[in-house]
C-alpha cells in the first residue's frame, strides 16, 4: 500500500511517518518547505504547498497513492479569525484540490477534522451530532468536511479533540508542555475549568488514521481519548505526574480571557464506532503522559 501524507512536518504528520515506517507501507511525506524529520531512506519526501492546485495535481498524479491522509491545516483558532483568507485557502480550497486530484487517481482521501465544528452546547458527541461551528476555524473545517462528503471519491473523515504530544524538533507546543514548562519555571498559570474535552495523544490519533487507511474504512470516525477533562484537570494531572507545584495552578473560567475566537464550552467524543469497527484503543491520559515523558528523556 502507498500512503501520501500532507502536512508531514506537523505533529500528527511526524507521528504518522514514525508509525508507518514500522509497517509494510510505501510512504510519501509532503509538506511545505524542507523536511524537518530525519530520513534514513524509509520514506520519500516531496515539498508540496497544498494551496497550489497545480502542485497538488502534479505530485499526486506522479505518485498515485492508494490513500492520502490530509493532516495539513491552519489550526490556530485565533489566527484563523484574523487571517480568514489564508485559513480558507489551507483548510478549504486545498481540500478541493486534493479531491480533484483523487478523482483522477482513484485515491482514497482520509481528511482530519475537529471537534470545533460543534457549538459546545453538550458532549461527549457521536458521529451523528449536527455540526454548528461558533468560530471561523470551525466554519472552515466544516466546509471542508462537506466538500469531502459530497465528493464522488472514496473518503473518510477522522475528527479529533485537543491533540497533545512531542514534535521531533519541539516546534509545536500544546497544553501539557505549556503546563510543564511554566511550572518548572516557577510561573503561576491561570487555567480554565469550564471547557470540557477528551484530550488525544498524537500517537493515538496517528494509529486511528492508520487503522482507517489500512482497512479502507469509509465514513466519519471520532478518534480521541476517552476521558472527559477540563484544561484545569489536565494541568493538575500533568503537575502530579511530573511532581511539580500544583499551587502555581489557578483555577479560573473562560470569562476571564478575551480571545478573538469563541471556544465551544463542551465537546469531547464518544469513540465506540472507532473501537468496534476499527479496533481503535486509545491510551489513558496517564499513559499518554508516560509516552510524552519518555520522549523528553
Please report the DSSP string for 87-136 in residue order. Answer: HHIIIIIHHHHHHHHHHHHTPEEEEEEEGGGS--BS-SB-TTSPP---SH
Overall residue count recorded for the chain in this entry: 297
Range of lowest pLDDT (31-35, 151-155, 172-176, 183-187):
172-176
Q: Establish if 53 belongs to a structural domain.
A: yes
Whether pTM > 0.85 for this model: the answer is yes
* pLDDT tens by residue, 226-261: 999 999 999 999 999 999 999 999 999 988 888 899
What was the pLDDT predicted at 150? 98
Tell me, yes or no, whether 171 lies in a domain. Answer: no
Domain count, the chain: 1
Cβ atoms of 283 and 218 within 8 Å: the answer is no
pLDDT at 264: 96
CATH of the domain at 15: 3.40.50.720
Q: Residue 209 falls within a domain, yes or no? A: yes
- Average of pLDDT values for 250-274? 93
Domain holding 39, by residue range, is 2-166+199-225+268-284
The confidence score (pLDDT) of residue 40 equals 83
C-alpha to C-alpha distance for 149 and 169, rounded to whole angstroms: 35
pLDDT of residue 157: 99
- pLDDT above 80 (res 297): no
Question: What integer is the mean pLDDT of 100-128?
Answer: 98
The band of 173, judged by pLDDT with boundaries at 50, 70 and 90, is confident
Residue 171 clears pLDDT 70, i.e. is over it: no
Look at residue 64 and tell me if it is in a domain: yes
Say if residues 220 and 278 touch (Cβ distance below 8 Å): no
What's residue 97's pLDDT? 98
What is the residue whose three cell numbers read 503537575?
239
Amino acid at each position: 500500500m502507498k500512503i501520501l501524507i500532507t502536512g508531514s512536518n506537523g505533529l500528527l504528520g511526524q507521528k504518522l511517518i514514525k508509525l508507518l515506517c514500522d509497517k509494510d507501507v510505501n510512504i510519501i511525506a509532503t509538506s511545505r518547505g524542507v523536511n524537518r524529520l530525519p530520513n534514513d531512506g524509509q520514506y520519500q519526501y516531496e515539498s508540496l504547498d497544498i494551496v497550489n492546485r497545480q502542485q497538488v495535481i502534479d505530485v499526486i498524479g506522479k505518485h498515485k497513492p492508494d490513500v492520502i491522509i490530509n493532516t495539513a491545516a491552519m489550526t490556530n483558532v485565533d489566527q484563523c479569525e484574523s487571517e480568514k483568507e489564508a485559513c480558507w485557502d489551507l483548510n478549504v480550497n486545498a481540500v478541493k484540490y486534493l479531491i480533484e486530484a483523487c478523482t483522477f487517481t482513484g485515491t482514497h482521501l482520509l481528511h482530519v477534522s475537529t471537534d470545533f465544528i460543534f457549538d459546545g452546547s453538550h458532549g461527549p458527541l457521536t458521529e451523528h451530532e449536527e455540526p454548528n461551528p461558533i468560530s471561523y476555524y470551525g466554519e472552515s473545517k466544516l466546509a471542508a468536511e462537506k466538500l469531502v462528503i459530497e465528493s464522488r471519491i472514496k473518503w473518510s473523515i477522522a475528527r479529533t479533540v485537543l491533540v497533545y504530544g512531542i514534535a521531533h524538533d519541539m516546534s509545536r507546543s500544546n497544553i501539557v508542555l505549556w503546563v510543564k514548562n511554566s511550572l518548572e519555571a516557577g510561573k503561576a498559570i491561570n487555567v480554565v475549568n469550564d471547557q470540557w474535552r477528551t484530550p488525544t495523544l498524537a500517537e493515538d490519533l496517528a494509529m486511528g488514521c492508520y487503522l482507517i487507511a489500512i482497512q479502507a474504512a469509509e465514513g466519519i470516525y471520532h478518534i480521541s481519548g476517552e476521558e472527559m477533562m477540563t484544561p484545569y484537570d489536565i494541568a493538575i494531572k500533568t503537575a502530579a505526574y511530573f511532581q511539580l507545584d500544583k499551587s502555581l495552578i489557578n483555577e479560573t473560567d473562560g470569562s476571564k480571557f478575551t480571545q478573538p475566537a469563541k471556544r465551544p464550552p463542551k465537546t469531547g467524543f464518544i469513540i465506540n464506532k472507532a473501537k468496534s469497527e476499527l479496533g481503535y484503543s486509545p491510551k489513558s491520559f496517564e499513559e499518554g503522559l508516560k509516552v510524552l515523558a519518555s520522549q523528553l528523556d
